Every structure is written in C-alpha cells, then in structure tokens.
Amino acid sequence: MPVLTALEGVYGDRVDAVTVAGRTASYEELLGAAGAVAADVAGAPAVAVEATASLETVAAVAGCLLAGVPVVPVPPDAGVAEREHILRDSGATPVTADFARRAAWSGPAPAADAPAMVLYTSGTTGAPKGVVLDGAAIAAGLDALAEAWQWSAEDTLVHGLPLFHVHGLILGALGALRTGSRLVHTGRPTPAAYAEAGGSLYFGVPTVWSRVVGDPERARALRSARLLVSGSAPLPERVFRGLEELTGRRPVERYGMTETLITVSGRADGPLRPGAVGTPLPGVRTRIAAGPGEEIGELQLTAPTLFSGYLGRPEATAASYTEDGWFRTGDIAAIDADGTHRIVGRASVDMIKSGGYRMGAGEIENALLDHPRVREAAVVGVADADLGQRVVAFVVASGVTGAELTDFVATRLSVHKRPREVRFVAALPRNAMGKIQKRLLPAGEG
C-alpha cells in the first residue's frame, strides 16, 4: 500500500492540491514531477533533498517514496560541518525535482518495511544521528492522526514549518498527500500568513502559537478554523488560554519524537485541557518508569510508528530500548487517572528544545570547542517566553567576542543552533570527578 494515496488518484485530481510559499500544483503535476524524480533515483542507496520550503521539496520527497529510495531531507540552513556529516553518514547523493520535467512512474510499490526516510536529529552528545523510518510507520502514524483529528479530504491544512522534520514534512506535507486534504504551506509560520490562508486545520509549534496570540487581530481570523494543533514542545498555559479566548478554539496538543512519530494526542472530539497532550493513539502502549511511590518518571512506549533504528548505530539503537523492549523517550511524564498524559520535563539537561527545534548541548559545545580561542564550553537551555528555551553558552575563552563565537557556530551547524547568548566565565563548575555541573551555572536552570 503506497503512503501517498492522494497521488494514486484516490481523491481524484485537484488543481490547487498543494501550495508552498505562493506556488500551487495539482496532484497530477506533483505526481508528474515526482515520477521524474523516481526515475532518476530508482535503485540508489539513499538520496538527499535540499529541504527548502518549496513545491520541489514536496515533489522530490514524494518521488523518492514512490521509488522506494530512502530520502534524507537536508536543512537548507545547515552549516558546513552539519551538512557534511549528514551526507557522509547517510551516503546520500543529492537530487532535485523540476516541474518542467514530468514522467509517469510505474515501478513496483516499495516494501512496507523498507527504509523510506532518514531524518537527522540530535542526541545529548555528538553529531546528529540518522533516524530510519519505514513506510509502514509513516502510514500508521498518519492514519492514527487522521482518525484522532477527523482529518480528511474536506480539510485545508495550513502551516509554515520546516520541511525537514517530522512535524512539517511527515505530518505537514505527507499527511496532506495521504488524507487528500489541501495543503497551504505559508513559507514562514507568521501570524499574518496563518490569518490570510483561511484553513480548517492548522499546525504550529508553541513559538508560532505564542506569536499568534501576540497578534490578536490575526488570531481572531482563525475563528473559522476547525482545529488548531500544537506540538514539538510544551505549549504554555498562557498560550493555550490566549488561543481559546481569541479563536474560540481550544488547541489540540500532541506529543511525539522523530524516533516514534506522534504517539499521544488530544482528539478533535476532546476533552482538551492545558498542560495535557492527550491519550495514546491506536496501537500505542505507554508506561511510566517511576520509582516506588512516585507518579512521574520516564515515559516509555511501544508503537507501530517506531523507527527502524539509528542509521549504522546498532548500539545507540539498542540503548534507546529497555531490556523488555520498550522505547525510552527520555521525557518525564505523568498519566492521570483518566489516561490523559502530561509531559513534565526532560530527563537530560543536555537535550534542548528551542522554537520546537531539538538540539543537543554536546553538538553545540563541540562546535564551540573547535574555535581555537575556546578552552571550555558548556551549553544550556534557559527558559524563554518566545522560544520555550533559548541556547546559552558559557565559555572559558579569551581574545574573541560572543558575536564571533555565535557566527562561528552558525557556519558549522544549523542557524537555529547558534547560541542566543554567550557568557564568558573564568571557569566552569566541576565536581570532584571533573564533570561539568551545569545546574550550578548562573541561570542554568533545569
């Protein structure tokens, strides 16, 4: 069963099927461009797509899925080191779609358990790892959300999220091509663009919703929407209440990870309340690994949407599971008596979420340490009203400015991994074993 059922013609053609950043394609046009890509890449071990916010990204990813070739979306703002790592680690060769070139694709449907996508995501230390997802996981994840959100071909989905993560790409683009809903990708996720798009279903990270609430006039334009969905990071209660007041809609929160896809969600038919991410989606089992007498602990789960493993890293894959085969999310959660899940924190201070982007402190520290003037570095996420957390770097260095270090990181990693603030300190707090004590850093909360 193919993942992108809309391209199989099950919903007929539609002239305005997909709009990205102001350009529109029909299913037929998209299928033609994707077919040409499929013919180009068939048989390749892996293919990289420069994942700009464009119709070409959607067509290139669709083409790889048709051909059964694992696709690696590359963040267009990735710095040199991050890009080289992704390309070397995955062995992917670049491909682009071109709407001037169309072809019919008639190759065999890929096996459901064959690798379909490799998404690079940060751990607490080291370089990002490739998360391998197969077609069956993607299809199961999208069908579960379609059921929970009553998401159908009647909907117009609107969002402006990056097309290289689960949220924007799998839910936000492939989801539309599976449910048959119209897609309007706004290029950037601004309140003005969301207000103008006139959708029935909207996706955003909490930073986007916070900015929408900060623009009451634009927020009120969303009153005609059916469902506003928030995910990728905790939605502050202030933003939940603001959306409810301005749009008349309680936002639906859902929880997931690159490795698991979306596993827990609120439902279109409620109940929805602030601070809660809903109940497990069909086929998902959850448990809390709590100590005796404790109600909160690590959320662990099994699900049909789980990844196939980290590319080329069997030990890391094995370490992400308990001995009895449950995936360890690293998130601290509680489950209420009625089954509603609440995410209350992260197990590690070294996993940062800023603007919905996941980043590992270790990766940013390594980039800083590559600078010849930096002797020591510790990176933390500090609470931030707009971004959830903002990246703050504490460095022991001389003869270099904070701005120079920020720029240096941006040339190596993705732009959003740049520290927002660099603080120079004489020494980093360490314990008797010499390990950095991040909790002792000034403002180093968490």
Go through the chain and tell me how many residues it has.
Answer: 446
| Residue 353 binding partner per list ligand AMP, ligand MCA, none, with a CB distance cut-off of 5 to 8 Å that depends on partner kind | ligand AMP
Cα–Cα distances in angstroms (integers) from residue 375 to residues 82, 262, 370, 397, in the given order = 22, 40, 9, 6
Using the CB atoms, write b or e for 336-348: b if 16+ within 10 Å.
Answer: eeeebbbbeebbe
Q: Which of 232, 263, 317, 340 binds ligand MCA (CB under 6 A)?
A: 232
Map the footprint of ligand AMP across residues 101-130, applying CB under 6 A.
121
**Residue 248 exposure: Cα atoms within 13 Å on the Cβ side:** 7
3-state percent breakdown (helix, strand, coil) of the chain, nearest 5: 30, 30, 40
Does position 128 interact with ligand MCA (CB under 6 A)? The reply is no
Nearer to ligand MCA, 251 or 355 (CB): 355
Q: Which position has the token pair 């993560």?
A: 165
138 binds ligand MCA (CB under 6 A): no
Classify strands 93-94 and 115-121 as parallel, antiparallel or unpaired: unpaired
Q: If you compute the radius of gyration of the chain from its CA atoms, what whole number of angstroms results?
A: 22
- Asked if 308 touches ligand AMP (CB under 6 A), the answer is no
CA dihedral 402, 420, 165, 127 (to 10 degrees): 40
What whole-number distance in Å separates Cα of residue 71 and Cα of residue 84? 16
Q: Does 202 bind ligand MCA (CB under 6 A)?
A: no
412 touches, from ligand AMP, ligand MCA, none (C-beta below 5 to 8 Å by class)? none
Region of 339 on the Ramachandran plot (φ > 0 left; ψ -120 to 50 alpha; else beta): left
Nearer to ligand MCA, 165 or 346 (CB): 165
**Nearer to ligand AMP by C-beta: 129 or 211?**
129
Which lies closer to ligand MCA via its Cβ, residue 27 or residue 164? Answer: 164
Work out whether 353 is an interface residue with ligand AMP (CB under 6 A): yes
Per CB under 6 A, does 242 bind ligand MCA? no
Chain centroid to CA 272: 22
Between 70 and 162, CB nearer to ligand MCA: 162
Non-local CB neighbours of 310 within 8 Å, separated by 6+ positions: 129, 130, 131, 132, 316, 317, 320
Under a CB-based contact definition with an 8 Å cutoff, are residues 281 and 290 in contact?
no
Bridge pairing between strands 156-159 and 182-185: parallel
Interface with ligand AMP, residue 258, by CB under 6 A: yes
Selected range binding ligand MCA among 110-118, 179-187, 289-297, 351-359, rule: CB under 6 A: 351-359
Residue 194 to residues 47, 163, 218, 222, 352, Cα–Cα distance (Å): 32, 17, 8, 8, 27
Q: Should residue 253 be labelled a site residue for ligand AMP when binding is judged by CB under 6 A?
A: yes
Under the binding rule (CB under 6 A), the answer on residue 186 touching ligand MCA is: no
By CB under 6 A, residue 256 contacts ligand MCA: yes
Q: Which of 68, 128, 256, 309 binds ligand AMP (CB under 6 A)?
A: 256
Cα→Cα distances 406→26, 118, 160, 282, 398, Å: 42, 28, 26, 44, 15
Q: Rule CB under 6 A: say whether 205 interacts with ligand AMP.
A: no
* Residue 205, contacted partner among ligand MCA, ligand AMP, none, CB below 5-8 A by kind: ligand MCA
Candidates 186, 258, 302, 305: give the one binding ligand MCA (CB under 6 A).
258
381 binds, among ligand MCA, ligand AMP, none (CB under 5 to 8 A by kind): none
In angstroms, rounded to a whole number, what is the distance separating the alpha carbons of residues 155 and 183? 9
257 binds ligand AMP (CB under 6 A): yes
Partner from ligand MCA, ligand AMP, none binding residue 253, C-beta < 5-8 Å depending on class: ligand AMP
d(CA 333, CA 32): 45
**Cβ closest to ligand MCA, residue 140 vs residue 208:** 208
Q: Are 4 and 117 in contact (CB under 8 A)?
A: no
Contact flag: residue 418 with ligand MCA (CB under 6 A):
yes
Q: How many CB atoms lie within 10 A of CB 297?
A: 16
Q: Which is nearer to ligand MCA, 36 or 332 (CB)?
A: 332
**Residue 41 Cβ vs ligand AMP, minimum distance, rounded to whole Å:** 26
Binding partner of 280, given ligand AMP, ligand MCA, none, CB within 5-8 angstroms per partner class: none
Residues that bind ligand MCA (CB under 6 A): 161-162, 165-168, 189, 205, 207-208, 231-232, 256-258, 355-357, 406, 415-416, 418-420
Residues that bind ligand AMP (CB under 6 A): 121, 166, 231-234, 253-258, 277, 329, 331, 343, 346, 353, 358
